[in-house]
Chain A
Amino acid sequence: GNTSANGTNETIKLKMADSLPTTNYLSSEGAVFFMDRVKELTDGKVEFEYYPAEQIGKANSYLDLTLSKTIDIGYTSYSTDRLPLTEIATLPGAYSSAQEGSAIIWQLMKDYLAEEEYLKNGVRPLYAVALPQYQFVTSKKPVKSMEDIKGLKARVTGTMELGFDELGASPVFMPATEAYTAMERGTVDGVTFPFTSFAPYQIEAIAKYSTKGANLGSFTVVYSINEKLYQTLPEDVKEALAQAGDETVEHLSTFLDEKNDELAEEFSSKVEIYELSDKESAEWDKSLEPVWDRWAADLEKRGFNANETIKKYRELRESMK
């Protein structure tokens, strides 16, 4: 980056990049909110150049672009090859609301994961937000129990592949842009999406049924800064980044939960929504628990401290209840 942190009065320019369209809440209420807060907290000393919407690279390239100093801050969520422990919050049943999940994963990062996997890879997490839990959306028949999922073809992403395999469904990978036509024509029986992602992919136009309150798994949004660059920043800027990060976690997760409820309400006129009771939800969580073991066993085998991460995650979740 072309940062110059020597003179105290000089402005510091940070390049931040992600793959999200600017219309996406994760950009407008996340990345943009974060940048605005940093600007305010530093009285304009820090300025940003923002490259959204894959302008500078595809989704999984932001860790490398940050490490090569092409950019300073990047969207590192998709670098699960090198940052796999962060995926813990995406496992089924990891939390029930975005606020809960975000609070846990962000604390876990500060306490443990930053040291355990981010700094080792040359980056430092600036904020992490867990999205509302993904629901299962179908167009032919409603899903009201785990039995109903058996034998269905389900469009999935990330660790949900393990979850749907566990439930006896057939996980299918396809680009999100094809989800609409795939469901309409029966290429798949259902898709996993959070309510907040329905609109961009026209899901509500084709969905007839959806679950609500199922914790099928989710996704964690993480932005990280190049550590070498970070170390050259003045103390007050570091503090501003930390405060803005905390505020973004709070702001975006609250926003997403509210939006999620609002959208579920809105869709209920077009989509038949089956809301799981707390008891049912807990049962689903229980039967998806083997996914955690599979996930951990695999990572342990590759030398990652997955069991330790799970232990710490559960302790944190307990302590925050």
Chain B
Amino acid sequence: MTIAIPLICLALFLAFGMPIAFALGISGSIGLLMFSGWDSFLGILQTAPYDSVKSFLMSAIPMFILMAAFMTVSGIMKDLFEAAYKWLGKLPGGLGIATVFAGALMAAVSGSSQASAAAMSKAVAPEMKKYKYNTAFTMGVISIAGTLAVMIPPSIILILYGILTETGVGSLLIAAVVPGIITAIGYIVVIFVWVKLKPDIAPKIEINPTIKEKFASLKNVWPMLVIIIAVIGGIYSGFVTATEAGALGAFITLVVVFVMGRMNLNKFGTALNDTIKSTTMIMTIIIGAHIFSYFLTMTQSTQKVVALIEGMEVSRYWILAIIIFIYLILGFFMDQIAILILTLPLTFPIVVSLGFDPVWFGIIVTKTVEIGLVTPPVGMNVFVATGAAGVKTAEGFKGVKWFVLMDMLILILLIVLPFITLWLPSFMMK
């Protein structure tokens, strides 16, 4: 029964606002001290922090974040939105649709949904406010468009899944393309229907950019296209591995924005600091999560849970449903990266032993991550988007509800029809 104590500690620490990394590490340490004693506590505190960080694969995380940071500080993310807005602004909910488009393009070069949401919130929120868009709607669109960065490759979540489960990162990134596009289309459908039913949330805008203006706006989109082509081309031509692609992308972005005269020492420093903040925050959580999961391992409770689920005499689809349900529940409360690190060592072997495809499961898990990023009480993307715009978080949560419903439908679609996910990798990997 003593196993409950560290778990209760964790729940209390998290609930009352202890930084997540510390909450995991400290309750894990308490557990190790209680169960395995002083020696194990010191042993794990010696090996876990170093091993979590000393990883070439993990270097993809700072590199992709750095790439997104260069795009943000140089303003090319803002340009992208403005072009999308000139082309799509006249449609019902046009600014919202433009945001989804911009989010999808940004997603194609950014691995971090938080970087993406923050950048868009700064660029888009003032525009939508100017045109009297409903605040909840605005925040909902920005928060949800930011989540595209996790599904549309490259994605830190997919890379992490690949690392944790030894599933080929290349296959995962390819597999996510179609689900990512479906998701973006799904969001646009929601905007259309919502605005049709409640026109006052997105007043019609009287803008009439000429064809000339429209095409003129595209001249600011080229940097993004160059970077997308370079990164994706770099990966698929074998010039770089999926891990190295972030470094190449960051480097190219830096060169491009420097050539454009969009970079100076101040912006460069800001990009570095923003990257370090996100990276170290994530990596510290990973360290804490490792300490906690090693404690769980030493109590043998994880093995017992696995044995329990494996031993259940029900259809494998029931077991899968239970696992996905657990992911959605955890997604309400916990940080997405911490969830993956804590649970994948348990769920992945079960799912694979049941005969499900590891790449497909990766995409399903990633979909639950997307949902978790915007569901209350802990929705990182909503926090970031509302934080950057200076709006109450509650507005953001109100604004994402219909998008979450669409996400759930897409999740079910992906589960029921695995070929949506698997046909592209099977075609690409011959």
Which residues from A are CB-within-8-Å of B210? none
CA separation between A194 and B425, bound complex, in Å? 26
Say yes or no: is A36 at the interface (Cβ < 8 Å to chain B). Answer: no
Which residues from B are CB-within-8-Å of A21? 166
Q: Is the CB of A69 within 8 A of B170?
A: no
Say yes or no: is A199 at the interface (Cβ < 8 Å to chain B). Answer: no
Say yes or no: is A107 at the interface (Cβ < 8 Å to chain B). Answer: no
Which residues from A are CB-within-8-Å of B169? 177-178, 181
CA separation between A221 and B44, bound complex, in Å? 23
Say yes or no: is B193 at the interface (Cβ < 8 Å to chain A). Answer: no
Q: Is the CB of A175 within 8 A of B56?
A: yes
Interface-located stretch among A50-58, A87-95, A120-128: A50-58
10 smallest beta-carbon distances between A and B, as pairs: A185-B238, A68-B43, A70-B43, A181-B170, A61-B47, A58-B51, A70-B40, A186-B238, A69-B39, A187-B238
Say yes or no: is A182 at the interface (Cβ < 8 Å to chain B). Answer: yes
Interface size on A, residues (CB 8 A): 33
Say yes or no: is B42 at the interface (Cβ < 8 Å to chain A). Answer: yes
Q: Is the CB of A70 within 8 A of B39?
A: yes
Instruction: Say which residue of A49, A54, A57 sits within 8 Å of B300 (CB atoms).
Output: A49
Q: Is the CB of A58 within 8 A of B47?
A: yes
CA separation between A297 and B39, bound complex, in Å? 37
Could you give 13 example pairs across A and B, Cβ below 8 Å? A55-B345, A57-B44, A57-B47, A65-B44, A70-B36, A174-B56, A174-B241, A180-B168, A181-B169, A181-B170, A181-B241, A186-B237, A200-B166
Which residues from A are CB-within-8-Å of B241? 174, 178, 181-182, 187
Which residues from A are CB-within-8-Å of B300? 49
- A59, closest chain B residue (CB): B51
Interface residues of B in 295-321 (CB under 8 A from A): 297-298, 300, 302
- A187, closest chain B residue (CB): B238
Which residues from A are CB-within-8-Å of B40? 68-70
CA separation between A175 and B58, bound complex, in Å? 11
CA separation between A57 and B32, bound complex, in Å? 14
Q: Is the CB of B168 within 8 A of A181?
A: yes
Say yes or no: is A64 at the interface (Cβ < 8 Å to chain B). Answer: yes
Which residues from A are CB-within-8-Å of B167? 177
Interface residues of B in 137-194 (CB under 8 A from A): 162-163, 166-171
Say yes or no: is A4 at the interface (Cβ < 8 Å to chain B). Answer: no
Which residues from B are CB-within-8-Å of A200? 166
Interface residues of A in 209-240 (CB under 8 A from B): none
A68-97 vs B: 1/0 string, CB under 8 Å?
111000000000000000000000000000
- A64, closest chain B residue (CB): B47
Show the binding face of B for A, using Cβ within 8 Å: 36, 39-40, 42-44, 46-48, 51, 56-57, 162-163, 166-171, 236-243, 294, 297-298, 300, 302, 345, 349, 429
CA separation between A205 and B430, bound complex, in Å? 9
Which residues from B are CB-within-8-Å of A61? 47, 51
Say yes or no: is A60 at the interface (Cβ < 8 Å to chain B). Answer: yes
Say yes or no: is A202 at the interface (Cβ < 8 Å to chain B). Answer: yes
Which residues from B are CB-within-8-Å of A184? 170, 238, 429
Q: Which applies to chain A's interface (DSSP): helix, strand, loop or mixed?
A: loop
Q: Which applies to chain B's interface (DSSP): helix, strand, loop or mixed?
A: helix
Known: A57-B294, A181-B242, A185-B237. 12 other contacts (CB 8 A): A53-B345, A56-B297, A56-B298, A57-B47, A61-B51, A67-B43, A69-B39, A177-B163, A178-B241, A181-B168, A181-B241, A186-B238
Q: Is the CB of B57 within 8 A of A57?
A: no
**Contacts A58-B51, A178-B242, A181-B241 known; A68 to B46 CB distance under 8 Å?**
yes
Q: Is the CB of B240 within 8 A of A187?
A: yes
**Contacts A53-B345, A55-B297, A186-B238 known; A180 to B47 CB distance under 8 Å?**
no
CA separation between A108 and B298, bound complex, in Å? 34
A242-256 vs B: 1/0 string, CB under 8 Å?
000000000000000
Interface residues of A in 261-287 (CB under 8 A from B): none
Which residues from A are CB-within-8-Å of B43? 64-65, 67-70
CA separation between A259 and B12, bound complex, in Å? 52
CA separation between A137 and B162, bound complex, in Å? 24
Which residues from A are CB-within-8-Å of B168? 177-178, 180-181, 202
CA separation between A50 and B297, bound complex, in Å? 10
**Contacts A49-B300, A177-B169, A181-B168 known; A70 to B44 CB distance under 8 Å?**
yes
- B162, closest chain A residue (CB): A177
- B50, closest chain A residue (CB): A61
CA separation between A61 and B46, bound complex, in Å? 9
CA separation between A74 and B4, bound complex, in Å? 28
CA separation between A70 and B51, bound complex, in Å? 16
Q: Is the CB of A68 within 8 A of B298?
A: no
Which residues from B are CB-within-8-Å of A186? 237-238
Q: Is the CB of B242 within 8 A of A68?
A: no
Which residues from A are CB-within-8-Å of B238? 181-182, 184-187
CA separation between A182 and B44, bound complex, in Å? 34
- A180, closest chain B residue (CB): B168
Q: How near does chain B come to A259, taking the closest CB pair, in angstroms?
A: 21
Q: Is the CB of A187 within 8 A of B239?
A: yes
Which residues from B are CB-within-8-Å of A202? 168
**Contacts A57-B294, A64-B43, A68-B43 known; A180 to B240 CB distance under 8 Å?**
no
Interface residues of A in 175-201 (CB under 8 A from B): 175, 177-178, 180-182, 184-187, 200
Which residues from A are CB-within-8-Å of B345? 53-55
CA separation between A186 and B234, bound complex, in Å? 11
Which residues from B are CB-within-8-Å of A177? 162-163, 166-169
A146-180 vs B: 1/0 string, CB under 8 Å?
00000000000000000000000000011101101
Q: How near does chain A come to B230, taking the closest CB pair, in angstroms?
A: 15
**Contacts A57-B48, A70-B36 known; A185 to B236 CB distance under 8 Å?**
yes
- B52, closest chain A residue (CB): A58
Which residues from B are CB-within-8-Å of A205? 429
Which residues from A are CB-within-8-Å of B36? 2, 70
CA separation between A187 and B429, bound complex, in Å? 15
CA separation between A202 and B170, bound complex, in Å? 13
